[in-house]
Amino acid sequence: MSDCLFCKIITGDIPADIIYQDDKILIFKDINPKADVHLLMIPKAHIESLVQLNESHNDLIAYMMLKLPELANDQGLNSGFRTIINTGRDGGQEVFHLHIHLLGGQNLPGF
Ligand code: 5GP
Ligand code: ZN
């Protein structure tokens, strides 16, 4: 998707503070952190949101879910963390490339 911000981060056209990547996913720091730790995990494939997922994505979604606690542990979040997926305009989604927020640390705001 040529006009997708997160696809441009994947290709390197827009810089980001990258924490981890492999053939399936990219993890980078949110540019406007809402907590001490605020990372975004995205699939390298352009998928707009949860609504676009189907059974062909089962392995990818399982992979992402299993990666989250590993990532949180690597970030030193030993006593817990929060994950958020905003979906659609009314769900507060601003970037239409599926992403999972990982938030943690002492300054985690109330929900
Ligand atoms: P959403 O509201 O779509 O769930 O979250 C989008 C997130 O992307 C926001 O937390 C926002 O701060 C982050 N973001 C927007 N533009 C950029 C950018 O250019 N670089 C990075 N690293 N994060 C961004
Ligand atoms: Zn994209």
The rounded mean pLDDT for the chain is 96
- Residue whose C-alpha is closest to residue 103's, from 35, 57, 56: 35
Phi, psi of 85 (to 5 degrees): -125, 110
Residues classed as catalytic: 99
List CB-based neighbours of ion ligand 2 within 5 Å.
Answer: 1, 4, 6-7, 46, 97
Question: Residue 99 has what pLDDT?
Answer: 98
Res. 106: pLDDT tops 90: no
Ligand 1: which of 4, 95, 99 to mutate, judged by most atoms within 8 Å of the beta carbon? 95
CA distance 98 to 91: 13
Give the DSSP per-residue string, 67-97: HHHHHHHHTT-TT--EEE---SGGGT--SSS
Structural domains of the chain, with CATH: 5-91 (3.30.428.10)
Q: Express each pLDDT in 46-69 by its tens digit.
A: 999 999 999 999 999 999 999 999
- What does the angle CA 62 – CA 104 – CA 20 come to, to the nearest 5 degrees? 50
Ligand sitting nearest the alpha carbon of 1: 2
Ligand sitting nearest the alpha carbon of 6: 2
